[in-house]
Amino acid sequence: MKNFLSFVLIVISLIGCNSKISKEESLKSDKQLLQIKHAKTAPVIDGIANEAIWETSAWYPLDQVWLGGALNSEDFQGRYKLTWTEDALFLLAEIKDDILLDKESDPLTAWWDDDCLEIFIDEDNSGGDHQYTHNAFAYHVALDGNVVDMSPSEKGKLYNSHIESKRITTNNISIWEVKIMVFDDTYSEVIVSTPVKLKADKKIGFALAYCDNDTSAHREHFIGSITVEGEDKNRGWIDADIFGTLELTK
């Protein structure tokens, strides 16, 4: 009996080790790894970007065409910065867009065909499918500030409590300042969920995109921050494997 119990304990131990290895092996690679500096004081979300952290943070390009033809620099140019505190991730985006279009008054109608920022977040950088789950989020931030993502009910839903944003547009340049609460894959639609606390050395799956529509029934361009291989580049709303990686640093 003693030998049998020892055998059972060994088998359980091996299963546990294999499960751990499988989870680690399932994590996606650190694609486009960006090291993001900590902000001692959280930026004020006012669209002005006059905080010291924005002065010292690096710009990153928003220049990968996921949908549409070649870009015209007079029509679109984009770049962004990031920082973080314990409570949230912060984004500063500078978008040059000659025409801003918000043709749908209902925020849950074809929200992807209006001009908007799209912010992709995968809290544990695990990658994988998230089309109708909260394994990751694809937040569409509209010109009016509404925030939409697909829900597990396979319909669009407002997630305004996850994102605080302010946009100031001067001529054809828009400055978007955004505070992003980060939720993990235990997020629930039926009970109150708490955003995770961020800390140094944490890695988060991330990508940024912009839906650009000047006058058409559907968006004319979809421009992202990540190079996506293959012909189908419009996969971020389904597949978190395409996201880049943020490493939070002090």
What six digits make up the tokens of 54?
């924005």
Is residue 8 in some structural domain?
Answer: no
Q: List, in order, residues 6 or more apart from 177 with CB less than 8 Å away.
A: 43, 45, 46, 47, 48, 49, 90, 91, 92, 165, 166, 167
Q: Decide the pairing of beta strands 33-37 and 244-249.
A: parallel
pLDDT at position 216 over 50: yes
What six digits make up the tokens of 98?
């000659």
Q: List, in order, residues 6 or more apart from 31 with CB less than 8 Å away.
A: 226, 242, 243, 244, 245
**Integer-rounded Cα radius of gyration of the chain:** 20
Q: How many domains does the chain have?
A: 1
Band of the pLDDT at 4, cuts 50, 70, 90? very low
- Parent domain of 95: 28-249
Q: Using one digit for the tens of pLDDT, what is the confidence trace for 97-132?
A: 999 999 888 999 999 999 999 999 999 999 999 999
Distances from the Cα of 209 to the Cα of 4, 10, 23, 52, 115, angstroms = 57, 49, 29, 25, 11
Is residue 161 in some structural domain?
Answer: yes
Q: Using one digit for the tens of pLDDT, what is the confidence trace for 123-176?
A: 999 999 999 999 999 999 999 999 999 999 999 999 999 999 999 999 999 999
Q: Mean pLDDT across the stretch 28-38?
A: 92
pLDDT at position 3 over 60: no
Give me the pLDDT at residue 5, please.
42
Give me the pLDDT at residue 72, please.
86
Is residue 4 in some structural domain?
Answer: no
Is residue 127 in some structural domain?
Answer: yes
Is residue 56 in some structural domain?
Answer: yes
In DSSP notation, 47-64 reads S---SHHHHHSPPEE--E
What six digits make up the tokens of 90?
């912060």
Is residue 62 in some structural domain?
Answer: yes
* Helices and strands of the chain, counted as H and E runs: 2, 14
Is residue 15 in some structural domain?
Answer: no
What's the CATH code of the domain at 157? 2.60.40.1190
Tokens 């950088």 found at: 125
Is residue 9 in some structural domain?
Answer: no
Give me the pLDDT at residue 27, please.
61
